């Protein structure tokens, strides 16, 4: 990978949204990784945020999106809301000059996505998009030529497919629009797992 995380201090995560994908995908994966720490959470449903903080160990519940993004205990803003709400969460992170991870799709509009890339570049922050399913081994496997697949006994491996292991050309290989591809590549040095595969590997190793 091009860069390595310089500090041994955990990256403190501020979570925006607490739906099922957050509960059953991201949070369990984050808790597996010593490099990350669940720090703060914000939800439009305050009761859901309070319940998640008590259940998963978040140390701070933010009352507003801007409060979470600007909290001194947050290094990385993870946007797990619906696609139409992504832009608001990403903009809050960019304004606060915090690294940001957004679920896919980046936004419903290419124009909006291009503007987010411009703002992120101007702020000089790291960004990435959650391309879990497109880059997971079981989804990349069918794209290979049939003659190569016939020789394989196992169709996919239960590996974590961390972003740090992906080449810069990975975004282009899955036919992304240019804005999303650029947003993805800027953050590929984050050690962010494809959640399901990280959990599978943990179970297999355990």
Residue pair 39/13 in contact by the 8 Å Cβ criterion: yes
Model pLDDT, residue 8: 73
CA distances from 190 to 40, 50, 99, 106, 186 (A): 19, 28, 10, 17, 9
CA distances from 114 to 73, 121, 180 (A): 29, 11, 8
Other CB atoms within 10 Å distance of the CB of residue 7? 8
Looking up tokens 């399913």 gives 133
Residue pair 90/79 in contact by the 8 Å Cβ criterion: yes
Q: Which domains does the chain have, with CATH numbers?
A: 11-205 (3.40.50.720)
Q: Which residues does 41 contact at the CB level (< 8 Å), separation at least 6?
A: 14, 15, 16, 18, 49, 52, 53, 58, 60, 61, 62, 68
The tokens describing 170, both together, are 């990975």
Distance of alpha carbon 128 from alpha carbon 100, whole angstroms: 7
Q: Which residues does 93 contact at the CB level (< 8 Å), separation at least 6?
A: 69, 77, 79, 99, 100, 125
pTM value is 0.70
The C-alpha angle with vertex 166 and arms to 164 and 172, in degrees rounded to 5, equals 135
Q: Pick out the chain residues at pLDDT < 50.
A: 1-6, 146-147, 149-175, 187-206
């Amino acid at each position: 990978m091009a860069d390595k995380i310089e500090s041994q201090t955990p990256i403190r995560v501020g979570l925006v949204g607490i739906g099922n994908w957050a509960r059953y995908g991201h949070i369990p994966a984050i808790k597996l990784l010593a490099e990350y720490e669940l720090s703060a959470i914000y939800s439009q449903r305050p009761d859901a945020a309070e319940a998640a903080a008590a259940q998963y160990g978040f140390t701070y519940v933010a009352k507003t999106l801007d409060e979470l993004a600007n909290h001194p205990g947050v290094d990385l803003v993870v946007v797990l809301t619906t696609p139409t709400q992504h832009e608001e969460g990403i903009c809050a992170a960019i304004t606060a000059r915090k690294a940001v991870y957004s679920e896919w799709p980046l936004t419903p509009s290419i124009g909006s996505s291009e503007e987010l890339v411009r703002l992120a570049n101007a702020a000089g922050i790291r960004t990435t998009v959650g391309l879990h399913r497109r880059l997971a081994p079981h989804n990349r496997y069918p794209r290979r030529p049939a003659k190569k697949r016939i020789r394989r006994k196992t169709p996919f491996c239960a590996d974590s497919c961390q972003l740090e292991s992906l080449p810069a050309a990975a975004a282009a290989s899955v036919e992304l629009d240019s804005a999303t591809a650029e947003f993805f590549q800027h953050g590929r040095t984050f050690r962010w797992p494809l959640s399901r595969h990280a959990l599978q590997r943990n179970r297999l190793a355990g």
